[in-house]
Structure 1
């Protein structure tokens, strides 16, 4: 049979000719490599791709007559879309992470708010500012009739309340209560008793009933006389800011640092008001042997 001219060949015949030429060229190249030692023969030959897997659009012939594949260039629009989709996916993942973190923080905040609303505040002793005058009031010992409770300094319309206040029960003793006070700057070392009425102040320094224990938040109000019953608080006016007051309990001692001193009228009961921090207030009649005012010394707990 005479050979057909190239223009007379069908597409399938041209395709087969290209495959045959590719096989021959590859075989010749492998033989040449074997002779020069550039390739090692393998026991199992790699199977050739089926004929129908050949992509004619990718087969080109090099200048040396060998067959090679030429990659098809990528469409720029396709590349752009791929990158755009990748960016959208990354943003979506970051958005989900952000939503998760926001949800976590919101739940934590809600839990903290609920816990805070459920938590009960710590009970603190509250000073009973029902006193109509400051404690330790009395007539001077050199006055006619001697020293005795000075009812004259109580406003007349408040005198009916005095008896009710005097009947406030003394709290049950506990290890946390103050039992002794020392003020080194003026040589005071005296016992503390609960209550600041006439009879209690005969025994030492009286703690106003309802004020907190040493070391607790609030204002401990301690009173004593300056010219009778041992004159315990006679020299309060010599105290200076920075001097210390040491209050003892059966468990430990507490040191308070003096912040100031003032002289007030007997009705200035607001100096006994509760405070938000641990503090102590000392009260005594003033001046010495006159006793128509009060001297008030304020101090705060050192290193609370």
Structure 2
């Protein structure tokens, strides 16, 4: 994209529109400017993994915990626009990266810290809505 991002993430139910940036290393420095794409995940087909802050530097994912099953998530990139429906929201261990694995379906995985427990992460997944 013209601004150097991979695209834009939109979650209408929590009023979020934020650019998505590629990470260059494991520190996810892209989260300073927007949300970060996990480089080891797909950018389009399969499982797209994104991480964002919910406090501190920025708060793009501060309301992620408010998402409910059925809420929509839209990802727009140079390849097009995909809409996903939230299918799961749960706390996982900070070392559990299994939700970022390859999938046969198109899904999006959003991960952020859990404020009351630094050993946990909030993981929200959505599956593509066929239009």
Q: Describe the shift of the 1:279–1:285 C-alpha distance in structure 2 as closer, same or farther (beyond 3 A).
A: same
Aligned residue for 1:210, secondary structure, equals: coil
More RCO (CA 8 Å, sep 6+): 2
Higher Cα radius of gyration: 1
Instruction: Compute the displacement of 1:253 (Å).
Output: 1.4
SS in 2 for 1:237: helix
C-alpha distance in structure 2 between counterparts of 1:291 and 1:235, whole Å: 17
**SS of the residue aligned with 1:260?**
strand
Residue 183 of structure 1, CA deviation: 0.4
Going from structure 1 to structure 2, the CA distance change for 1:212 and 1:223 (only over 3 Å counts) comes to: same
Give the equivalent residue in structure 1 for 2:71: 243
Alpha-carbon distance between aligned partners in 1 of 2:118 and 2:72, rounded to the nearest angstrom: 25
User: How far apart, CA to CA, are the structure 1 residues paired with 2:43 and 2:28?
Assistant: 22
Show structure 1 runs of 5+ residues with no match. 1-172
Extract unaligned runs of 5+ from structure 2.
Answer: none
> Shift in Å at residue 230 of structure 1?
1.8
Structure ranking higher in helix proportion: 1
| Matched positions, count | 126
Runs ≥4 residues deviating over 3 A: none
- Partners of 1:191 and 1:239 in 2: CA distance: 19
Among candidates 177, 183, 197, match of residue 27 of structure 2: 197
CA distance in 2, matches of 1:300, 1:224: 19
Q: Does 1:211 find its partner at 2:44?
A: no
Structure 1 contact 178–247 (Cα < 8 Å) conserved: no
| Match 1:262 to one of 77, 85, 90 | 90
Of stretches 194-203 and 232-241 in structure 1, the one that deviates more from structure 2 is 194-203
Considering only aligned residues, what root-mean-square deviation do their CA atoms show, in Å? 1.9
Q: Which residue of 2 aligns with 1:183?
A: 11
Other structure's SS at 2:31 match: helix
Give the TM-score taking structure 1 as reference length: 0.39
2:119 equivalent to 1:292: yes
SS of the residue corresponding to residue 65 of structure 2 reads: helix
Asked if 1:301 corresponds to 2:131, the answer is no
List aligned pairs for 1:219-230, cutoff 5 A.
219-230=47-58
Q: Secondary structure at the match of 2:107?
A: strand
Q: Map 1:77-156; keep pairs closer than 5 Å.
A: none
Give the structure 2 partner of residue 271 of structure 1.
99
